Structure 1
Amino acid sequence: MSCGRPPLEICKGINDLERVILRGPRSSSVEILLYGGQVISWKNADGEELLFLSTKTTFKPPKPIRGGIPICFPVFSEHGCVEQQAFARNRLWSVDSATPPFGANPTDKTLFIDLILRSSKEHMKIWPHNFELRLRIALGSTGNLMMTCRVRNTNTDGKPFAFTFALRNHFRVSDVGEVRIEGLETLYYLDNLQEKELFTDQGDAVSFDSEVDKVYINTPSKIAVIDHGKRQTVVIRKDTGLPDVGVWNPWEKKAKEMCDFEDEEYEEMVCVEPAVVEKPITLKPGEEWKGRQELSFVPSSYCSD
């Protein structure tokens, strides 16, 4: 662990927003805000930041934070300046004190924190259902970042509810034109720039030379985000609870229209988000859904199997 610093720390950051810091081997770390239950920093063993965070983010609730890994629930909404229906990202979460913030196995050096968001009168005005959303964020012994989400229907009136969900990973890249995403080729996708029309990807990998806003359907469990400029790769591994993958970059024109995004920041960011979009999840009272992703860093250009 980091010498002289606690492996887990709860403290205050910008504008007194409470944050949790998990520190792993060498300089690896994860920083989470209780506001939004949002990961805003993930650093590898060399202390290099792997997530993008816009310099125009104000850290002033109730505005959402642009960048990091927002939780998109209960509606997978558009990539705009304010996402009112995805209220999980602009609400205050609580640390779940029911579990200790350490791995269950004494020999397991994985650190984790459990967060929870429950329905309230304020939520009911936007989305009239009782729910419980739990999030475990873990930093592994190799610096890998794991996120496990659970949604439970706690309605007492016998009514089911349906929702969509996403873990909106904003990765920091050297130059978006040098990025390729492997694992999505030849798959069907919904194009949000063409009224969600269904297409088939024809390339050997996803690359960027203009605005992209797509949702790939029924994707494999492993996706590779390859940054040739930095000669590094982030590998996303996800379970069947998150069958779809969104890919987004606003490009030049859209970036200038966004209120929480610098004009040129589109060049250093790509969003690749495991999600459930095409077929919403329906839960009856007492039922629970789970979705999980693991992000790992490979310090070289990489080609997936």
Structure 2
Amino acid sequence: MMVDVVKSSDGMDKVILKEPRGSTVQVHLFGGQVTSWKNERAEELLFMSSKAIFKPPKAIRGGIPVCFPQFSNIGTLEQHGFARNRFWSIDPDPPPLPASSIKKAVIDLLLKPNEDDLRIWPHIFELRLRVALAPGGDLTLTSRVRNTDSKPLTFAFAFHTYLSVSDISEVRVEGLETLDYLDNLSERERFTEQGDALTFDSEVDRIYLSTPTKIAIIDHEKKRTFVLKKDGLPDAVVWNPWEKRAKAITDLGDDDYKHMLCVEAAAIGKPITLKPGEEWKGRQELSAVPSSYFSGQLDPGRVLNG
């Protein structure tokens, strides 16, 4: 396993994680953001906008931004909070590694509020992020928020994961059927998912509530299934801007929506409240596995129930 801190071509510091079979992960210290995750065949598994801006203070469009302490623009802060456009540091005193992580490539990052943050959001906290790449190429992100203030701390959180897909119209998401969701396209009105899977032919922006610990994202064309496992993050956001909205987003290419899908482990529906000294922990694990066909359809049951 190898962990290197390097300067990227844009002049920003980033961390490269490598495992012996060839999988790699790239983490920019700006935003504490995973900006690349490649398998052993050097195939990029995360989407990055063709117009992504790698210049602070603009958040980087793609990869896995960290949304904290708010999601969307519900609240007084900038869209998705400020964690995704602050410079993080390498954690000088990280939590101990569990025995199961000994063979993983790991980097621990830390974000504390600066004076500007305290003016717009007067709470003292420590936000830790552990990025771990396993020998088989699985990517795990573990977040910890500790309330180091003398008053309660309430926040929302999401790992805003942009997955790279061959063609959004050929993708289906399983594991969210029959669940309630808040529709951001209808002022967060609450609906119940009716389909046996989620497929895409128009803009989607939903917060699914009380979701299972495993969700499968099936890319028919690439015969690949992403498996998202999560803990401490009860909700799941699903977003694709589709054509009209994509053209209105300045740092997104007009056709980029065809090759991306955001499926995000989140805690939004019921925000988290910490008493002074308390800590919250949330974890998201991503794996990419070959999909098998059965009667002309992919069979995610083996993945979801495995």
Q: TM tier, shorter chain? A: over 0.9
- Who is 1:178 aligned against? 170
Q: Which of the residues 103, 107, 125 maps onto 2:119?
A: 125
CA separation of 1:258 and 1:108: change in aligned 2, threshold 3 A: same
- Who is 1:247 aligned against? 238
**1:176-233: CA deviation from partner (whole Å, max 9, x where unpaired):** 0000001000100000001100000000011100000000000000000100010001
Q: Which of the residues 187, 207, 217 maps onto 2:209?
A: 217
Aligned length: 294
CA separation of 1:47 and 1:226: change in aligned 2, threshold 3 A: same
Q: What CA distance in whole angstroms lies between the structure 2 residues aligned with 1:126 and 1:33?
A: 24
- Who is 1:230 aligned against? 222
Q: What CA distance in whole angstroms lies between the structure 2 residues aligned with 1:199 and 1:192?
A: 11
- Who is 1:298 aligned against? 289
Alignment RMSD, CA only?
A: 1.9
Kept in 2: contact 1:103–1:111 (CA 8 A): no
- Who is 1:199 aligned against? 191
Aligned to 2:47, what secondary structure does the other structure show?
coil
How far is the alpha carbon of 1:78 from its aligned partner?
A: 4.7
Q: Which of the residues 13, 31, 44 maps onto 1:49?
A: 44
- Who is 2:295 aligned against? none
How far is the alpha carbon of 1:244 from its aligned partner?
A: 0.1
Kept in 2: contact 1:246–1:275 (CA 8 A): yes
Q: Which of the residues 87, 96, 103 maps onto 2:91?
A: 96
- Who is 1:149 aligned against? 143
How far is the alpha carbon of 1:48 from its aligned partner?
A: 0.7
How far is the alpha carbon of 1:26 from its aligned partner?
A: 2.1
Corresponding position: 1:283 with 2:274: yes
**1:262-304: CA deviation from partner (whole Å, max 9, x where unpaired):** 0000000000000001101011110111000110110224413
- Who is 1:271 aligned against? 262
> Aligned letter for 2:205?
D
Aligned to 1:69, what secondary structure does the other structure show?
coil
Q: What CA distance in whole angstroms lies between the structure 1 residues aligned with 2:83 and 2:275?
A: 20
> Aligned letter for 1:138?
A
- Who is 2:60 aligned against? 65
Q: What CA distance in whole angstroms lies between the structure 2 residues aligned with 1:205 and 1:78?
A: 28
Corresponding position: 1:262 with 2:259: no
**TM norm structure 2:** 0.92
**TM norm structure 1:** 0.92
How far is the alpha carbon of 1:126 from its aligned partner?
A: 1.7
- Who is 1:4 aligned against? none
Q: What CA distance in whole angstroms lies between the structure 1 residues aligned with 2:284 and 2:272?
A: 17
Corresponding position: 1:77 with 2:69: no
Gaps in structure 1 of 5+ consecutive residues: 2-6
Q: What CA distance in whole angstroms lies between the structure 2 residues aligned with 1:192 and 1:211?
A: 11
CA separation of 1:53 and 1:78: change in aligned 2, threshold 3 A: farther
